[in-house]
Structure 1
């Protein structure tokens, strides 16, 4: 996972770009009500989902490998009077002193585990920390042709406003897919604009593993997890060949 950390080197900018997205919250809340806490948010980052769930009255533990992201998360809750436990740990070798009825991993973080061994390790680690009949929910990008066969030349992705630097940012990506490893290598280019002119350009690299649905079924089963639901989005649409995500709701066997 470590070669992917440069994408998270600036937690403040990460929040500006991503914090507004709350698409997972309704489904997570539904299961939080059913399962109770303590709820564990794995690869929690700056608390994008940890904090809103805590604000709904649930007991949350946020776990991440990246110290800077956790520091940012702690700063965000300082003024909110929310009690969240933040832990810096590797998800493949979790060592928490308690089990949970509900664990989740959002933001497609599962794709950071590149090898079969890493995928097994993280799922076993999760299973070990789930209570009997505990629920694990996670999402990952669906490996359809549009997703995998993205151009290896610079392609426009989106625009957002950096409120700290008061500049618009155009985001571009360059993609190269390795079918043998099932890993997409991305370069993300952020071009900072002032009066329409590019005044700064920042590049980050990230590599993401893609897993196919049948592969995922076997992977989860072999690591002690039954699939209760498989969706193509966080609104609970059934998984289809035209989707862009795979959302799994699993129960410990």
Structure 2
């Protein structure tokens, strides 16, 4: 598994928290429809996890980063229906069976081999009750530009934890076409001139291949969407949200 690292969860929240409104709205409705406990894998700072717990449902968030979980736990003080576990998603073991499992932020792509993707699907399937749903987002190679960059490009601007304007720059530096694995170098450039480098590697799995794997894991595919607004998936899309169900 691969993931971008952050010095603090506050850095992540400053950059991304405002972007998760569609996920929160859709997942809240789905969690209430499903009923029962909710499992948020690779939950990060709890941007989605904490609002889900506000429904009153029991929620478990799992993440490997102590820094991200520290921020998540600070948001969850006093919530007895919310538990955070520091663990690799592939190693999470619980006797509990969940009505809903989810992954957001394209965390699904951090599992960089076919073996790990299939292991993740098996892990989620095992932890769902019959009729339980697994929903996640992922970018797709069908609509993605894998051209390597000569220099860093502006990806976004955001307000950092201090409220100052920061720029996020990205450079695509290496692509393994056989395995669909793309490596990025990144820079956060802050108002005082400080530059914080980071890197990330993600796996892009063709939709047809991915659907074959999820069905082989035992899931039924109940929804293929363009985004978290649940608009129907279009041919050649650069990203998808997939809704899977464990049969009754």
> Is 1:230–2:215 an aligned residue pair?
no
The aligned residue for residue 67 of structure 2 is: 68
| C-alpha distance in 2 between matches for 1:151 and 1:157 | 13
| C-alpha distance in 2 between matches for 1:147 and 1:48 | 28
The aligned residue for residue 135 of structure 2 is: 137
The aligned residue for residue 3 of structure 2 is: 4
The aligned residue for residue 215 of structure 1 is: 209
- 2:13 equivalent among 9, 12, 15: 15
- What stretches of structure 1 move > 3 A for 4+ residues in a row? 80-83, 144-147
The aligned residue for residue 245 of structure 1 is: 239
Secondary structure at the aligned position of 1:185 is classed as strand
Secondary structure at the aligned position of 2:228 is classed as coil
Unaligned runs of 5+ in 2: none
The aligned residue for residue 199 of structure 2 is: 205
Which residues of 2 match residues 75-90 of structure 1 at below 5 A? 75-78=74-77, 81=79, 83-90=81-88
TM-score normalised according to structure 2 size: 0.93
Which residues of 2 match residues 25-36 of structure 1 at below 5 A? 25-36=24-35
Which residues of 2 match residues 150-169 of structure 1 at below 5 A? 151-164=149-162, 166-169=163-166
| C-alpha distance in 2 between matches for 1:223 and 1:132 | 14
Cα displacement (A) at 1:143: 1.7
RMSD across aligned C-alpha pairs, in angstroms? Answer: 1.7
Secondary structure at the aligned position of 1:101 is classed as strand
Q: In the superposition, relative to structure 1, how do residues 67 and 145 fare at CA in structure 2: closer, same or farther (>3 Å)?
A: same
Aligned residues of 2:56 and 2:81 also touching (Cα < 8 A):
no
Cα displacement (A) at 1:242: 4.7
Unaligned runs of 5+ in 1: none
- 1:120 equivalent among 115, 118, 121: 118
The aligned residue for residue 184 of structure 2 is: 186
- 2:171 equivalent among 174, 185, 193: 174
TM-score normalised according to structure 1 size: 0.91
Cα displacement (A) at 1:73: 0.6
| C-alpha distance in 2 between matches for 1:177 and 1:102 | 34
The worse-fitting range, judged by mean Cα deviation, of 171-180 and 129-138 is 171-180
| C-alpha distance in 2 between matches for 1:76 and 1:52 | 10
Q: In the superposition, relative to structure 1, how do residues 218 and 64 fare at CA in structure 2: closer, same or farther (>3 Å)?
A: same
Aligned residues of 2:57 and 2:81 also touching (Cα < 8 A):
no
Secondary structure at the aligned position of 1:37 is classed as coil
The worse-fitting range, judged by mean Cα deviation, of 54-63 and 103-112 is 54-63
Aligned residues of 2:142 and 2:206 also touching (Cα < 8 A):
no
Cα displacement (A) at 1:152: 4.3
Q: Tell me the alpha carbon deviations over residues 40-68 of structure 1, each in whole angstroms, 9 at most, x when there is no partner.
A: 11111110100111112222111111122
Aligned residues of 1:102 and 1:136 also touching (Cα < 8 A):
yes
Cα displacement (A) at 1:148: 2.5
